Chain A
Amino acid sequence: MTTPAPALVLRASELIGRPVVTLGGELIAEIKDVVFERAGGRIAGFTLRNPGLFSRSRKDALPWTGVHGLGRDAVMVADETVFIPAKELAPRKQARKADVLHDRVLTDNGRDLGRVVDVVLYGGTGLEVVGYEVEASETLGTAAQRVLIPLPDTMAVSGEHLIVPAAATEFVSEDLAGFGAAVDAFRSRLREEAS
């Protein structure tokens, strides 16, 4: 299973404030915040606010599955019917605590790579969480304060720790340029090892 790397690699935090536009060309909301799933650091969806300067937050939300396209300039949806009540996205109390941000990334051989500060996605229409940006621990031995760690396409998850294969440390990037290639290289290595 080889998929060509989509051109667009984004940080989840970049999406905040981005317009939500229907395929019919109407601006219907703005991204207020990113909501992460309790386990595994995947994205559950986005809370919304009304577009404009003095915007109010809204009681509806955009689930991850309702996103049609995620680009540099807009988040595209089919129409407003993909929205769900915000409390269905994640129970409020849980949503605050469940944030993958601040979780620590551990390798499967027990090295602590650092604390998650952002999540990296493939944009376009082939949406996928492909990495974490971490505040690097000394273990990584990089000069950079923040590095990007690629994720395998399937991952075992627990509530508390984010476990990645040890080989991930060989494919760490310091910036988004080139990270897509690092993700692909890391994943094909994992496939080679598995076969």
Chain B
Amino acid sequence: MLFSQARKRTVVSTATATRVARVDGFVVLPGPARVALLRLGKVSGHGTLLAWEDVQGFGPDAVTVATDAVIRPPRDDLEQRAEDNDLDILGKRLLSEQGTELGTVTDVDFDPETGAVTSLITKTDTVAGQRLIGLGSYAAVVSA
């Protein structure tokens, strides 16, 4: 499933059967490349992060969680930067470990069952997700 397709998906609590948030973004971590957190919008509490482990199902129509209590604020620096959108992989420059720019990440393909990132997509290229070795505020870095 592509990030572009999965964005804006509704987050539903199975405890109350109500809509509790909307998916605004994805936090990818390398080694192995995976969706670690979802960034949410339209939340009622003050937290906006949802850990992948707390996702019950990433379905074609909705993302389900057991309860909206799992939606939480950042716990550490990394998560704070994720919430600030500093680490959003979309729009990030893609650099090889040899220091050559490969383009800009325009979309990401991931496995909705596991959260594993299967590929990074640029305008001209598709790079296997397992090649992602680093993701910072300046660039996403991939191995040769």
| Interface residues in chain A, defined as those with a beta carbon under 8 Å from any beta carbon in chain B | 8, 19, 21-27, 68-76, 123-125
Contacts and interface: CB of A to CB of B under 8 A. Distances in A.
A67 to B, nearest CB: 9
B73 to A, nearest CB: 24
B131 to A, nearest CB: 12
A71 B101 CA distance: 8
Contacts of B137: 25-27
B98 interface: yes
B50 to A, nearest CB: 23
Given A70-B99, A72-B101, 16 more contacts: A21-B138, A23-B97, A25-B135, A25-B138, A25-B140, A27-B138, A69-B96, A69-B99, A71-B95, A71-B99, A74-B95, A74-B99, A74-B100, A74-B101, A76-B141, A125-B97
Contacts of A75: 99
Interface in B84-137: 92, 95-101, 133-137
B3 to A, nearest CB: 18
B144 interface: yes
A69 B138 contact: no
Interface residues of B, number: 18
B139 interface: yes
A75 B101 CA distance: 11
14 contacts: A19-B138, A21-B139, A22-B136, A24-B135, A25-B92, A25-B138, A27-B137, A27-B139, A69-B98, A69-B99, A71-B95, A73-B99, A76-B97, A123-B99
B138 A123 contact: no
Interface of B: 92, 95-101, 133-141, 144
A72 B95 CA distance: 10
A124 B100 CA distance: 8
A37 B51 CA distance: 51
A157 B53 CA distance: 61
Contacts of A69: 96-99
Given A24-B134, A25-B134, A25-B139, A76 B144 contact: no
B98 A21 contact: no
B141 A21 contact: yes
Contacts of B97: 23, 68-69, 76, 125
Contacts of A124: 98-99
Contacts of B134: 22-25
B59 to A, nearest CB: 31
Contacts of B140: 25
A145 B140 CA distance: 41
A136 B127 CA distance: 44
Nearest to A77: B99
Nearest to B135: A25
B141 A25 contact: yes
Given A23-B133, A125-B144, A72 B100 contact: yes
Given A76-B141, A125-B144, A21 B99 contact: yes
A25 B78 CA distance: 14
A94 B84 CA distance: 46
Contact of B141 (A24, A72, A123): A24
A79 B97 CA distance: 12
